[in-house]
Structure 1
Amino acid sequence: MTFARLLSAFLLVALLAACGGGNSKFRSYKGPAVTSIQVHKGARKMYLLHDAKVLKQYDIGLGFAPEGHKQFEGDGRTPEGTYFISFHNPKSRYHLSLGISYPNLADSAFAASQGKRPGGDIMIHGRSNYKGTNKGDWTAGCIAVRDKEMEEIYAMVRQYTPIHILP
C-alpha cells in the first residue's frame, strides 16, 4: 500500500509540473525595483533603470514613422516626452503589454487646437500575432520587443513607473 501512495504522489507532482511547466508567459522578479524606463528612439534602445544603474537593455521597434513626436491619431509616430506606465495588459494581441500614459494634457490640447485627435493606446508590447516581418519599425506608435523580453519587462516594471521617451 505504501508503494501505491508513493507512486500516486509522484504522479500528482509530475502532473502539476507538466501543467505549470515553464510555458507560462508570466514570470516573477525579485531584483532591484525598476525606478524608470528610458527609450532612445534614435538608437532603437530601451533601458530599465534602478536609479542611475541600467538593469536591462533591449533593442526595440517603433512606430512606422519614427521621426518626431506623436501628434495625431494615425500618424505612426512614437511619442516623445515623460509619461508613466498606466496598466498591465495580460491579454494583449501582442503577447503582453504595458500601457503608456499618452496622451497627456499637453498632447490632447495640441491635437484639439489643430482640430484633430491625439490618438492613444500607446504601449510597450511583444511581437506575437503581428503578421508582418517583425523587423524594424512596424507598430502604429508603440514600442515593440521580442515576446520573451516582454515577459521579463512585464514582471519587472510596476504601474506608475516613469518612462522617458527621447528622440
Structure 2
Amino acid sequence: MRLRRTVRPLATILFLATLIWAVPALGSSNSRAALAATNAQRRIGDALTKKGLSFGSPVYLRVFKEEAEIEVWLKNGERYDLFKTFPICASSGALGPKEKAGDKQSPEGFYGFTRSKLNPASRFHLSFDVGYPNAYDKSLGRTGSAIMVHGDCVSIGCFAMTDAGIEDIYSLVDAAFKKGQKSIAVHVFPFRMTGAKMKAHADSKWASFWSELKAGYDAFETTHTPPTVAAEGGHYSVR
C-alpha cells in the first residue's frame, strides 16, 4: 500500500511536467512571435488589404541611413509595391560602410538573409540579421557580424526600430518565408540616391563606392524588381 501511494504522486508529477514542456511559456520566443503577428495584423491588416497586398507576399527591404527609414516593399504580380516606410528609431555611426568589428558603423551595400536569421528570442524584442559581411565585404577584409534590424530603440551599429515597428516588419518577413520565399534582399543605402543627393556628397571619400550602390538603386527605381547583384574584383556588379 505504501508503494502504491508513492507511485501515484510520482506519476502525477511526471504527467504535469510533460504538460509544462509541451505548452510554450507566456514569455517564450514562439509566443512572442505569435503575439507580434497578432499585433501586426491589427495594426496593418487593413492597410495591406486596401493596397491589394497580404501577409505572405514576397518582401524586399530598402534602408536609408541619412533619412533613418526602412521601406518595406511587397510583391504584387510581377513588380513590387511600396507598402510602408518605417522610421528607424536609433542607429549609430556616420555615412559610409562598416569596415571592422567594433567601429559602431552600420553597413552599406547589398545584403540578404534566410529564415534561419530570424530571432524571435532576441534581447531586443525581435530581430533578424541582415547578412553582413557579404561576399563583397569579405573580399575587402571587412570584419564584424550580427548586424540586425531589431526593436528596443537602441543601437551600436544595428538598425533599431520601435517594438511596434519591428513587430510589423518581422511579421511580414516571417509570413513571406512561411509562404515559400527563400531569401529576402536588404539593400542598405547611405541616402536616397537621387542626382541632387549624389552631387551634394560628391566630395566624400566614399563617392566612388556610392556610385556602385546607385546602380542598384536606379535599377530598382526603374523596374520595381530587386536587381541581381554580384561581387566581382572588389566591386559590385548590378545585372
TM-score (normalised: structure 2): 0.50
Deviation at 1:34, TM superposition (A): 4.0
Contact in 1 for aligned 2:90/2:161 (Cα 8 Å):
no
| Contact 1:48–1:54 under 8 Å retained in 2 | yes
Counterpart residue number, 2:106: 78
Which runs of 5 or more residues in structure 1 are unaligned? 1-18, 112-116, 128-133
Counterpart CA distance in 1 for 2:140 and 2:155 is: 23
Cα separation, 2, equivalents of 1:73 and 1:49: 30
Question: Aligned-pair distance for 1:52?
Answer: 3.7
Equivalent position amino acid for 2:112 in 1? F
**Mapping for residues 24-103 of structure 1, pairs under 5 Å:** 24-27=35-38, 30-31=54-55, 33-50=57-74, 51-86=79-114, 87-103=117-133
Segments of 5+ residues of structure 2 without an aligned counterpart are 1-25, 42-53, 178-182, 191-239
Give the Cα separation in 2 of the matches to 1:32 and 1:56.
15
Alignment of 1:1-167 (within 5 A): 24-27=35-38, 30-31=54-55, 33-50=57-74, 51-86=79-114, 87-111=117-141, 118-127=143-152, 134=153, 138-157=154-173, 158=176, 160-167=183-190
- Residues 62 and 78 of structure 1 are in contact (CA less than 8 Å); yes or no, is this contact kept in structure 2? no
SS at match of 1:93: coil
Partners of 1:59 and 1:109 lie apart in 2 by 32
Once superposed, what is the RMSD of the aligned Cα atoms? 2.4
1:61 Cα deviation from its structure 2 partner: 3.9
Bigger helix share: 2
Give the residue type in structure 1 aligned to 2:85.
Q
Could you say which structure has the larger radius of gyration?
A: 2
Higher relative contact order (CA 8 A, sep 6+): 1
Q: 1:141 to 1:34 in 2, by over 3 A?
A: farther
Q: What amino acid does structure 2 have at the position aligned with 1:100? A: V
- Please identify runs of 4+ aligned residues in structure 1 that moved more than 4 A: none
Question: What percent identity do the matched residue pairs reach?
Answer: 29
* Number of aligned residue pairs: 133
